Amino acid sequence: MYKAVIFDFDGLILDTETLHVEIFQEMFNDHGLEFPYADWIEHIGTKSTFTVFDLLERELASVKVDRDLLKAQNQQKFSERVRVLEARPGVLEYLKGAKSEGLRIGLASSSNRKWVTEHLTNLDLIDYFETIRTADDVEFVKPDPALYKLAAEDLNVSPSECIAFEDSANGASAAVEAGLTCIIVPNQTTRELEFPTVKHRLNSMSDVSFYQLLEEMNIHFGKD
């Protein structure tokens, strides 16, 4: 039987990824360009030195842009819009369901702790999580499995007893490699990604109740 659930954050609980893409599209449009979505999306769910400004300068044939100015403009847009962004449909119901079923609840994110805890607090969700593991805790973030291994260890459960909820291919790969059963819930930005083999795919957590999903998962627990 499953004993714990571990959630990703960006894109899964709060769809910051689609908000970022929306703002990047506006920036490229301001320069008379289309946003190269396929190139950007490869970096979703992980961290690298690659930035959207590298893409912009590439599309501008290496013409240098004022990165500091564009970054400030993008951040202002993001700060204004993220304040009114709500958790994705079904997230609160899944957290309540997991708690009522006595499952331990954790979070594993490639973002930094300040970012994650600030937004979880604003969403009034932070108290659901017994452990929160972020980029501050590991040398390598997703697709490396370290974050998921640490979260499972914190919850005092075997990775095989955990269900991971992810929205990105890098995150799903990390969960699978760590030994968790992964369920993907892609968002508008990540739905076209090629994901590793996972247990289940939902378009939204509102598609099926947590209790129904958990019952189905427990029926097949340990059989694969």
Catalytic residue among 10, 137, 144, 154: 10
Distance CA 136, CA 49 (A): 17
pTM exceeding 0.85: yes
Per-residue model confidence as pLDDT tens digits over 100-152: 999 999 999 999 999 999 999 999 999 999 999 999 999 999 999 999 999 99
Ranges of the chain with pLDDT below 50: none
Q: Are 150 and 138 in contact (CB under 8 A)?
A: yes
Distance CA 137, CA 141 (A): 9
Does domain 4-15+87-219 fall under CATH 3.40.50.11810? My reply is no
Beta pairing partners, 166: 184
pLDDT for 18 equals: 87
DSSP helix/strand/coil, 107: strand
From residue 78, alpha-carbon distances to 17, 84, 145, 168 in Å are 11, 10, 29, 21
Catalytic-residue membership of 8: yes
pLDDT for 61 equals: 87
